[in-house]
């Protein structure tokens, strides 16, 4: 069974731009969650999508948004990028939600200049 | 404010040693505690704990949860160089998941 895939793997943007990251979950998984990982703050929960609906949300500003498609693939968008948005963005999938084993993708490393 | 605190932040031991990693938490609407191992990029699942006092075991790794004292430990016996990684503790609550900053473990050959 193929694992969670994320594209692109690396991205360089400048302040003020916007970015869209993509996550394809394991086949059959309906829950996709997104995380930001930085050396200072560690791994932080952004939001979770289930059946095309945002079900849970962490404490991030509205510049961070996402969506999920009918095939469970998910995208995360960050608008008006700031230097502090430089991070590794991980997505994870599971069958039903946060209370199960999360299978993580390899991440997208975003650098904002 | 919900928080998950791991200790120590980093640890260096010799191959064959036993290590104990700690995770304490203050989270409302606790549902489960999870341990992950992160080597390069993607964290990989180790354990999920929901009940106090029941040890979960997988090979040389074991973990236990104390819901009264709000902490969990992860034990690794007979450590090997392949155990070198960052170990993450996370607590799942009703509507979110909170991660600790991790313990960076380095095993010397």
User: Residue A103 and residue B45: Cβ atoms within 8 Å?
Assistant: yes
Least confident of A1-5, B13-17, B90-94: A1-5
Note the pLDDT tens digit of each residue in A26-64. Answer: 999 999 999 999 988 999 999 999 999 999 899 999 999
| Residue A25 clears pLDDT 80, i.e. is over it | yes
| Residue B73 clears pLDDT 90, i.e. is over it | yes
Handedness of CA B74, B59, B13, B18 (dihedral sign): positive
pLDDT-based confidence at residue A1 (cuts at 50, 70, 90) = low
Among the partner residues B48, B95, B99, nearest to A56 by beta-carbon distance: B95
How far is A48 from chain B, CA to nearest CA, in Å?
A: 8
In this structure, what is the dihedral angle of CA atoms A23, A105, B48, B81, given to the nearest 10 degrees? -170
Q: Which residues in chain B are contacts of A103 at CB distance < 8 A?
A: 45
pLDDT-based confidence at residue B4 (cuts at 50, 70, 90) = very high
Note the pLDDT tens digit of each residue in A92-105. Answer: 999 988 888 899 99
- Number of Cα atoms under 13 Å in the Cβ half of residue B27: 26
- Distances in Å between the Cα of B8 and the Cα atoms of A101, B20, B86 are 25, 9, 11
Nearest to A57 by CA among A73, A34, A76: A34
What does the DSSP 8-state code read for residue A95?
A: S
Q: Is B30 on the interface with A (CB under 8 A)?
A: no
Q: Which residues in chain A are contacts of B99 at CB distance < 8 A?
A: 35, 42-45
For residue B95, what pLDDT is reported?
83
Mutation target vs A (from B90, B97, B100, B101; most A CBs, 10 A cutoff)? B97
Mean pLDDT of chain A: 94
CA-CA distance, B105 to A107, in Å (whole number)? 22
Q: Which residues in chain A are contacts of B48 at CB distance < 8 A?
A: 100-101
- Find the mean pLDDT for residues B86-93: 94
C-beta separation of A75 from B69 below 8 A: no
């Amino acid at each position: 069974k193929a694992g969670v895939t994320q594209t692109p793997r690396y991205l360089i943007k400048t302040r003020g731009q916007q970015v869209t990251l993509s996550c394809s979950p394991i086949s059959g998984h309906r829950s996709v969650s997104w995380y930001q990982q930085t050396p200072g703050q560690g791994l932080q929960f952004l939001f979770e999508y289930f059946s095309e609906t945002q079900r849970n949300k962490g404490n991030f500003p509205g510049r961070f948004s996402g969506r999920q498609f009918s095939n469970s693939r998910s995208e995360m968008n960050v608008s008006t990028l700031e230097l502090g948005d430089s991070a590794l963005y991980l997505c994870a999938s599971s069958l039903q939600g946060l209370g199960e084993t999360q299978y993580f993708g390899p991440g997208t490393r975003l650098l904002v200049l | 404010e919900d928080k998950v605190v791991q200790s120590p932040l980093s640890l260096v031991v010799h191959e064959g040693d036993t290590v104990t990693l700690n995770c304490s938490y203050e989270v409302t609407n606790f549902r489960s505690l999870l341990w992950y191992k992160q080597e390069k990029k993607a964290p990989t699942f180790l354990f999920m704990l929901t009940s106090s006092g029941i040890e979960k075991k997988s090979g040389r790794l074991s973990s236990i949860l104390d819901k009264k004292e709000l902490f969990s430990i992860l034990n690794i016996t007979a450590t090997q160089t392949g155990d070198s990684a960052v170990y993450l503790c996370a607590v799942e609550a009703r509507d979110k998941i909170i991660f600790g900053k991790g313990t960076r473990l380095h095993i010397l050959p």
